[in-house]
Structure 1
């Protein structure tokens, strides 16, 4: 009876999904066909003002498979590409930005700022409106500081008072639960395990995080001060660090140009754009395409934790992962395409599996060796640990000045929970054959022999990482070890020590790929995404792979463990319990 009821409920859920989603998918298909045939809603053609709402969440890259294809919004690199295309579009008169109240990340702010500066240089106006800033770091202001005019809603305070990088340490909790973090790390700056093993920052951990935060704060202040016409960076620094500013203080201090309600600002923007001007959301802006004969640049997207396999995430997952099979396949497919002249690999990842990272690195090497095509890496907000590993062999690496990168290191081990289980009446006991290491990843602490074998295994992985970086960056192995040891760097610092070739964003990486492929700088190129996104009908068929029970469980779990900090702890703990060696950098929350 229980099975019958479960099947009935599962069928009912599927039927509801079918009845709700089929019209949506059909509508999408009709919309696509209408757009292709020239029908549908006609976009304004004489005077366009592009609208960007930074309060929305954007994935760095568009989804390429699964249900996310049905529901995804415009990706961040889509926005960058469209803003770049708008430079030469006579229809686009300007851009109207709704600023975020919370942080959007320093690296994203940097790429948006560069895009807006280029638009202004092409005589397009940029106007931004803010309804207040809630103390989430300088990225909220830095993203819009290059605008011609910035307005604040009356009554809205702003808090742009520095950068705080927060870490949660769990050792005291583990001690209370009689859980021991049995983790080895290479080396002292590889601070991911510290959240399990320490109660506070170690000196190397504090040193690296302080340097990173200082770089991000300084670079942000330099940009904002230049954009807003401050006489010196210290003047801006003193103003912002004084604490929350009232609207009048923000205007008097030249952070904003005036106070306006959003509707009034929007009306003034349209008047500035000229008669018959209309707003057009950036997602609905479709600039003219390059000619079919234009040179082709492949863009491979790699976002999220690096894992082995296909990366199937299931019905309710909205988490991006860089799965080694499809990413390596996409790199090889793009490299073997005779029409593709260069590859841009967009990496936005804190790392993960060394095995998966190696597979992706090897695919890049094959494209270079077998096809003779240049590969350029564009680093997003973070490209650290495994995210740096997959990048190291590229012909050129470009990072934003505030990209988090490096973290050349490795760690591995487990959480020994046997004593904690005994406290609640559960006694783990094991019978093991096949050598002492066969029981290494059970619930007990390591024996000395097991710890020694784990250390040797991790050391081999670390040494290979050093060799990959040494060969790819043209640095002596001893020098790589000196700047590695698991330490993270800002993109600016990484350039200074040779881990990054140039500072620049996604658009700069495409320009670099053109240069390395021998394409003239002024030539308009075609850009093709790999993996090639599924059409909505393919994605729709994947929606019905989950039972009613799994759907309910997934939804409940998502609600209980929705906090991103606990999700990070859970993912890392599961990876350790599987005995997995990890090349990942801890989540760095920019507040």
Structure 2
């Protein structure tokens, strides 16, 4: 028996030792990778592959946070910071095959134009485009001062298309009855269940939205390529163009392979130039001080939902637009005396009215503490995405942002007919009033339907009232442009739903302005919720304390003195990130 317990104890100790060594091994590998960074190059060309899928905002939890996945908004800030980095000479873009979305293309284009205005170059290379849903593949690189295209490929750019599936025919066949009611005629999400095709209002809204987005893209691309919009429209709407013809028509500037374009940009940047991935590039530390005032960034992406689990897991992440998390982030930012204003980045199709209400109230509380709130709309800020934005001091959107959809819908699917077809029947005993079984498997009765419609009307009226208060409009004025209708950012501005056309960096400048800060200087940025460093993410995922991780990093550095300085710089950079400061240039990709 004694031998048995000794063996068990030995196995337990060995297991613990293995786990500890495993985690320290992970830390050592991470530190070793960090310490192998070369000296800061004198000539840098930032590279960005637009085929890479990115969230709008960087993840704040889970394995994605540990791995340091940036958000699209982070790239915009990096490009802006690179304008004043003397080591950065240009940007090399790898064009997307299918597109990155009109709003992102517009926002990226503005960033690239500002970058070029700082005296730097932008070169793009595309391996062809098969963009059948819109012009964003071309739109996203049109601001480059030189576009290369791979020989033997095609440029296929179409107008804007919205395609909707309708399930009513299927539901009729299987006996399913959708009882989903919308306020009002333009709130078109339930049409997928209630109709077999577009209603006149649904078609009208989508046609005007698509026209606005297409004409905006045509005007911008035509300006970039030195053409008239009508001329460009004719070229793009006439079908695919092989690379050789695209060059002849001046839709691209040169034909060549990716390696040819890379060689060209490195030669243009000068001797000993390097390609550095924009995703890993970090500018020199900001000279701004927290005591001079900071701008807090709070983000919400995806469906707006109630609650929110803030605990970390290796394979799962909390919802990115959970009301508890986002509302708490706004309130925490408002409590920080160094924070002078909040930029609330919204990229959402909507969701729970209750969750939206909670976030809207957090915005109001921040304002009550004297903190201006500026909303930056991403690709989509509709329905609940507009609800959470409505009370802001200023709302900025791209011209091709999809917003509005001020409306509400609700109801259920009555499934009794479907089950009856296969011989299943239902009966019920209900105690507690007629509405008790309203959400049972059968259809609403007349009284229940009336209650549901009254409930939806109260929700709609509150939504319209929230918008009216925030936009200083009457109920009737809001109702006229609401009724569930979607608008482009440009259309929304014309109707008073948006204050200014502009992207994320423009929203930061607007926040500085409202806070009385010097807009000629880049502010110190801090993110809420707190963005974990690699060490802190390791602690959350595996239970290793950040202090232990840092200690392990220093111990591992003793193995090689030549690495020590690089490791200490990495640790300092992690701390700088937490305080809102920028870091130094990231790892090398290719050298010339």
| TM superposition score category, shorter chain reference | 0.7 to 0.9
1:239–1:333 CA distance, 2 compared to 1 (3 A): same
Q: 1:193 matched to which residue of 2?
A: 190
Whether 2:87 is the aligned partner of 1:88: answer: no
Whether 2:101 is the aligned partner of 1:100: answer: no
Residue 481 of structure 1, aligned match among 469, 479, 483: 479
Q: 1:558 matched to which residue of 2?
A: none
Q: 2:403 matched to which residue of 1?
A: 405
Quick one: distance in 2 between partners of 1:439 and 1:21? 55
Q: Deviations over 1:345-397 (max 9, x none)?
A: 0000001000000000000001101x111000000000000000000000000
- Structure 1 position 162, deviation (Å): 0.8
Whether 2:539 is the aligned partner of 1:525: answer: no
C-alpha contact (below 8 Å) 1:25/1:537 kept by paired residues = no
Quick one: distance in 1 between partners of 2:173 and 2:542? 43
Quick one: distance in 2 between partners of 1:497 and 1:488? 12
Quick one: distance in 1 between partners of 2:225 and 2:320? 38
Quick one: distance in 1 between partners of 2:25 and 2:439? 48
- 1:407-422 counterparts in 2 under 5 A? 407-422=405-420
Q: 2:356 matched to which residue of 1?
A: 357
C-alpha contact (below 8 Å) 2:62/2:317 kept by paired residues = no
- 1:13-412 counterparts in 2 under 5 A? 22=23, 25-27=26-28, 30=31, 39-42=35-38, 44-136=40-132, 137-230=134-227, 232-291=228-287, 292-293=289-290, 294-311=292-309, 316-317=315-316, 321-369=320-368, 371-412=369-410
1:18–1:320 CA distance, 2 compared to 1 (3 A): farther
C-alpha contact (below 8 Å) 2:330/2:528 kept by paired residues = yes
Quick one: distance in 2 between partners of 1:200 and 1:192? 12
- Structure 1 position 64, deviation (Å): 1.0
C-alpha contact (below 8 Å) 2:46/2:276 kept by paired residues = yes
C-alpha contact (below 8 Å) 1:95/1:126 kept by paired residues = yes
SS in structure 2 at match of 1:306: coil
Quick one: distance in 2 between partners of 1:431 and 1:79? 59
SS in structure 2 at match of 1:381: strand
- Structure 1 position 114, deviation (Å): 0.4
1:514–1:204 CA distance, 2 compared to 1 (3 A): same
C-alpha contact (below 8 Å) 1:466/1:480 kept by paired residues = yes
- Structure 1 position 23, deviation (Å): 6.7
Q: Deviations over 1:516-552 (max 9, x none)?
A: 000112122100111112344554576689xxxxxxx
Query: Which one has the largest radius of gyration?
Result: 2
- Structure 1 position 433, deviation (Å): 1.2
Residue 509 of structure 1, aligned match among 491, 507, 510: 507
SS in structure 2 at match of 1:307: coil
Q: Deviations over 1:405-455 (max 9, x none)?
A: 000000000111111012123222222111111111111111110000001
Quick one: distance in 2 between partners of 1:18 and 1:353? 42
Q: Deviations over 1:131-175 (max 9, x none)?
A: 000123201111110101001000010111211111111111111
SS in structure 1 at match of 2:172: helix
1:28–1:140 CA distance, 2 compared to 1 (3 A): farther
The answer to which of 489-498 and 422-431 deviates more is: 422-431
Q: Deviations over 1:96-137 (max 9, x none)?
A: 000000120000000110011011111100000000001232
C-alpha contact (below 8 Å) 2:67/2:534 kept by paired residues = no
- Structure 1 position 314, deviation (Å): 6.7
SS in structure 1 at match of 2:321: strand
Quick one: distance in 2 between partners of 1:483 and 1:40? 57
For normalisation by structure 1, the TM-score amounts to: 0.85
C-alpha contact (below 8 Å) 2:61/2:317 kept by paired residues = no
SS in structure 2 at match of 1:437: coil
How many residue pairs get matched? 524
C-alpha contact (below 8 Å) 2:185/2:483 kept by paired residues = yes
Runs of 4+ more than 3 Å apart: 17-25, 311-321, 534-545
- Structure 1 position 289, deviation (Å): 2.6
Quick one: distance in 2 between partners of 1:216 and 1:450? 41
SS in structure 2 at match of 1:50: strand
Residue 490 of structure 1, aligned match among 488, 504, 512: 488
C-alpha contact (below 8 Å) 1:307/1:321 kept by paired residues = no
Question: What are structure 2's unaligned runs of at least 5 residues?
Answer: 1-14, 544-592
Quick one: distance in 2 between partners of 1:113 and 1:380? 14
CA RMSD across the alignment: 2.2
Q: Deviations over 1:157-198 (max 9, x none)?
A: 011121111111111111111111111110000001111111
C-alpha contact (below 8 Å) 1:86/1:287 kept by paired residues = yes
Quick one: distance in 2 between partners of 1:99 and 1:20? 43
Question: What are structure 1's unaligned runs of at least 5 residues?
Answer: 1-13, 546-591
Quick one: distance in 1 between partners of 2:358 and 2:175? 38
C-alpha contact (below 8 Å) 1:128/1:144 kept by paired residues = yes
Quick one: distance in 2 between partners of 1:18 and 1:140? 47
